[in-house]
Structure 1
Amino acid sequence: MSAVHNVQEALDAAGVEGRARTLPQSTRTAAEAADALGCPVGAIANSLVFMADDAPLLVLTSGAHRVDVEALAARLGRRRIRRAKPDEVRAATGQVIGGVSPVGHPAPLETVVDEALRQYAEVWAAAGTPNAVFPTTFDELVRITKGTVVSVAAG
């Protein structure tokens, strides 16, 4: 089964109305996705995998800013958070960097949802490949990932 199919099955199981769609151009970066979708870069929910004290942590962050790993570690009570290596991302999600979806993984992942995404009526997330996305809302994203809402940027 394709990664996009797995994501769509997870969306269907969660009662999400938004459909995964494959675009002709890359949506690997937030800027590329925003250009392709005609939306603000901040409305792109980047799915980034980190290792938090050696356990995978999925961080869904607004495309408008970067994750401050030291601030996030302090907010979550972790000793250390670092970006996951490509093989760690694939092992945790079954997906490749640039296409990691908030859902459709082999096993549930601890997830953090950036509170900055709350300001957008519609957000877009990757759907398993570097050119597949799906629309959702902040509240739905929190619900389907069982995510913890937290600020992931400095400040």
Structure 2
Amino acid sequence: MKTPATAVLDAMQVRYQLHSYPHRAGAAYGPEAAFALGLDPARVFKTLVTEVDGALTVGVLPVADSLDLKALAAAVGGKRAKMAEVTAARRATGYVAGGISPLGQKRTLPIVLDVSATEFDTVFCSGGRRGLEIELTPADLARATNATVVAITAG
């Protein structure tokens, strides 16, 4: 199964594994992926598109956690952050909500990966479609997205 996310990894010769599951309409995407694949939710990362001082910015964090908007803004040298409109996220990334991958986005956006990813040998992120997850090392995810790795979860 090819998506823009897998195309980026293939071009960079990054090792990864795809995992698919049947998506149920109305289900919360991240927790659904963790449950369907029998994974610790701390290893499954969601991709949230935000606006930091008016510029689209991406936060990648565990599905069970909440995004600390102030920490995200600080990570990219900004002051204020808010969640982006769904249509703006779709236009910038080329992906639909629930299938936004940090990899292979239409526009190059700043990406901040929560430091908790480094606690695991591999993590999971969206493969660019609802019901599709990519498993790869945190180092490869950070390298493939040119991510800043810092704490961005609330709590």
Query: When the two structures are aligned, how many residues end up with a matched partner?
Result: 153
Amino acid at match of 2:79: R
Q: Could you tell me how far 1:75 is from its partner in structure 2?
A: 4.1
Q: Deviations over 1:5-63 (max 9, x none)?
A: 22221110121221444322358522111111111001011111101111111111122
Residue 63 of structure 1 is matched in structure 2 by: 63
More displaced, 28-37 or 128-137? 28-37
Q: 1:149 to 1:32 in 2, by over 3 A?
A: same
110 and 53 in structure 1: CA distance in 2 versus 1, 3 angstrom threshold: same
Selected match of 1:16 from 14, 29, 41: 14
Once residues 125 and 54 of structure 2 are traced to their aligned partners in structure 1, the CA distance between those partners, rounded to angstroms, is 25
Distance 2:28 2:9 in 1: 20
Normalised TM-score (structure 1): 0.89
Pairwise CA RMSD = 1.9
Contact kept? 1:24, 1:131, Cα under 8 Å: yes
Q: SS of 1:87's equivalent?
A: helix
Question: Residues 21 and 33 of structure 2 are in contact (CA less than 8 Å); yes or no, is this contact kept in structure 1?
Answer: no
Q: Closer, same or farther in 2 for the Cα pair 1:34/1:150, shift >3 Å?
A: same
Structure 1 residues 35 and 154, CA, compared in 2 at 3 Å: closer, same or farther? closer
Confirm or deny: 8 A CA contact 1:8 1:19 kept in the other structure: no
Say whether residues 1:110 and 2:110 are aligned partners.
Answer: yes
TM-score, normalised to structure 2's length? Answer: 0.89
Mark the runs of 5 or more structure 2 residues left unpaired by the alignment. Answer: none
Determine helix, strand or coil for the equivalent of 2:3: helix
Task: Tell me the distance in 2 between the aligned counterparts of 1:101 and 1:74.
Answer: 22
Q: Distance in 2 between matches of 1:89 and 1:39?
A: 27
- Partners of 1:111 and 1:139 in 2: CA distance: 14
Letter matched to residue 141 of structure 1: L
One-letter code aligned to 2:3 = H
1:122 has 2:129 as partner:
no
Q: Which runs of 5+ in 1 are unaligned?
A: none
What is the one-letter code of the residue matched to 2:21?
Answer: L
